[in-house]
């Protein structure tokens, strides 16, 4: 399985797409239209919001898993758009247990974040306003509508009434009759794609087929283990991916953490290595750091090993994919945060403070690694031809540094948006000692 190891936007789409080539099933395990997985195909850019990357590959089934909250109208449009572009080469399968995210949730999400912002601008989460929090809240309150309920008119009506009755503070909701009709209609159109997906996956694994779990969002946005309350409302960790797919832990054979060579964040919340000046602007410009879902400019800063160590332990990562190393090409030196110093003088190396305001006060301590050359056409061509042996030595040192400092080997490197701009590094003979990770706690 693969999970994000920072605050989201690590270039997961590109890595999922690369790995999907060898899979039979690729399963999105959580979140919903808040995600934006960008994949640069020879035919042009595709941004998948709710569909799994598997749908772009012939012979692959892209599953919208049970842990997702799906906006059915937008999902239908996403499928149609791919069909129109001739890019829906795989199959789409939708879990009957996934929850439906409705316009009422989108309206409630905006209402809640506006309310927070009015009370104190710094408390606004800056959500994607796609309705994620309210949809998961209704799921937990057991008043949610599941995809399987869309073609059960009595259940649909009862749940809608319950939902509307609990949201009387919202004034601009679409009329309930109209909503019930539209949901039943879209449910009917999507019905041929809806299945109980867990037995399909269990059977596939029993036949020895490869199943890839595609985590959206990231460890630091996890509802429990992220920078609460500046988090999303799902569990984008390896444990969450299992709950969100219905697969047991005994089936997992690798957990790949995806991280950018620097750090970005969209929305509010602590970000110790954020660069608000020229350096941040440089990363934003060269890295094209703008949200794929909302178009918001991403906050940018340097690589933070505290976050990576935390994500490594939280997820049990077995390897890393480090993306966008080309963005840092041409810099003389690369600052890398090795630890935080807290206001009381204590240091933090791999365990995040539970309170977001404490993390806000963390001061990053940097090591400065040597930079590597710009990724001009000649270097890209050599990497395509010769593979990992053509990586600049200083970049190799940067990747080794990440492995040494986190106890997790780097397995993949992304050096551009294209499908062929990912390298697999030769396997590491022995995994770096994890005892080092334990020693960092405290």
What is the spatial distance between Cα 129 and Cα 105, in angstroms, rounded to a whole number? Answer: 9
What is the spatial distance between Cα 335 and Cα 333, in angstroms, rounded to a whole number? Answer: 7
Strands 333-341 and 363-370 turn out to be: antiparallel
- For ligand IMP, the binding residue among 244, 267, 301, 407 (CB under 6 A) is 267
CB of 109 to ligand IMP, least distance (A): 7
Closest CA to 40 of 53, 58, 26, 23: 53
Q: How many residues bind ligand IMP (CB under 6 A)?
A: 20
CB of 124 to ligand IMP, least distance (A): 9
CB of 258 to ligand IMP, least distance (A): 12
Helix (H, G, I), strand (E, B) or coil at 362: coil
Binding residues for ligand IMP restricted to 293-322, rule: CB under 6 A: none
Q: Residue 130 or 313: which CB sits closer to ligand IMP?
A: 130
Considering the candidates 17, 37, 138, 222, report the single residue annotated as catalytic.
37
Is position 22 annotated as part of the catalytic site?
A: no
Q: Phi first, then psi: give them for residue 35, nearest 5 degrees.
A: -80, 160
Binding residues for ligand IMP restricted to 178-237, rule: CB under 6 A: 216-217, 221, 230, 232-233
CA 184, distance to chain mean position in Å, is 30
Note whether 125 binds ligand IMP by CB under 6 A: yes
Tokens linked to 117: 């912002």
Helices and strands in the chain, H and E counts: 14, 20
Q: Residue 10 or 405: which CB sits closer to ligand IMP?
A: 10
Window 13-42: contact mask with ligand IMP (x via CB under 6 A): ---------------------xxx------
- For ligand IMP, the binding residue among 5, 8, 51, 309 (CB under 6 A) is 8
Is position 17 annotated as part of the catalytic site?
A: no
- Contacts (Cβ under 8 Å, ≥6 apart) of 273: 263, 301, 302, 303, 304, 337, 364
- For ligand IMP, the binding residue among 24, 28, 105, 130 (CB under 6 A) is 130
How far lies 201's CA from each of 31, 77, 247, in Å? 19, 26, 8
Could you list the residues that contact ligand IMP (CB under 6 A)?
A: 8-9, 34-36, 125-128, 130, 132-133, 216-217, 221, 230, 232-233, 266-267
Which sequence positions are flagged as catalytic?
A: 9, 37
């Amino acid at each position: 399985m693969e999970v994000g190891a920072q605050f989201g936007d690590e270039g997961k789409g590109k890595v999922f797409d690369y790995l999907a080539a060898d899979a039979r099933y690729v399963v999105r395990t959580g979140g919903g239209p808040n995600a934006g997985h960008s994949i640069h195909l020879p035919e042009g850019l595709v941004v998948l919001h709710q569909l799994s990357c598997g749908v772009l590959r012939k012979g692959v089934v892209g599953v919208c898993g049970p842990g997702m909250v799906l906006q059915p109208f937008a999902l239908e449009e996403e499928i149609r758009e791919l069909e129109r572009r001739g890019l829906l080469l795989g199959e789409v399968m939708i879990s009957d247990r996934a929850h439906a995210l409705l316009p009422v949730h989108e309206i409630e999400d905006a209402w809640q974040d506006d309310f927070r912002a009015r009370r104190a601008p710094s408390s606004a989460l800056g959500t994607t306003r796609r309705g994620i929090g309210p949809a998961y809240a209704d799921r937990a309150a057991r008043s949610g509508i599941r995809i399987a309920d869309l073609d059960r008119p009595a259940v649909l009506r009862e749940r809608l009434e319950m939902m509307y009755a609990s949201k009387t503070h919202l004034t601009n909701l679409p009329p309930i009759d109209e909503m019930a009709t539209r949901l039943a209609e879209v449910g009917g159109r999507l019905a041929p794609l809806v299945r109980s997906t867990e037995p399909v996956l269990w059977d596939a694994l029993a036949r020895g087929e490869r199943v890839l779990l595609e985590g959206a969002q990231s460890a630091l946005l996890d509802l429990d283990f992220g920078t609460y309350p500046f988090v999303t409302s799902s569990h984008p960790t390896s444990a969450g991916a299992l709950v969100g797919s219905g697969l047991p832990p005994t089936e997992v054979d690798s957990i790949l953490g995806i991280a950018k060579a620097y750090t970005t964040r969209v929305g509010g919340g602590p970000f110790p290595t954020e660069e608000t000046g020229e350096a941040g602007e440089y990363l934003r410009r060269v890295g094209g750091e703008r949200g794929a879902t909302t178009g918001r400019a991403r906050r940018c800063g340097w690589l933070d090993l505290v976050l990576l160590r935390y994500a490594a332990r939280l997820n049990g990562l077995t390897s890393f994919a480090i993306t966008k190393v080309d963005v840092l090409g041409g810099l003389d030196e690369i600052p890398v945060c090795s630890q935080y110093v807290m206001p009381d003088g204590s240091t933090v190396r791999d365990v995040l403070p539970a309170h977001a305001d404490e993390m806000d006060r963390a001061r990053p301590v940097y090591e400065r690694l040597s930079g590597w050359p710009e990724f001009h056409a000649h270097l890209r061509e050599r990497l395509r031809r010769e593979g990992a042996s053509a990586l600049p030595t200083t970049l190799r040192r940067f990747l080794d540094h990440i492995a040494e400092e986190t106890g997790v080997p780097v397995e993949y490197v992304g050096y551009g948006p294209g499908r062929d701009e990912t390298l697999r590094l030769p396997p590491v003979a022995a995994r770096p000692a994890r005892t080092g990770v334990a020693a960092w706690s405290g």
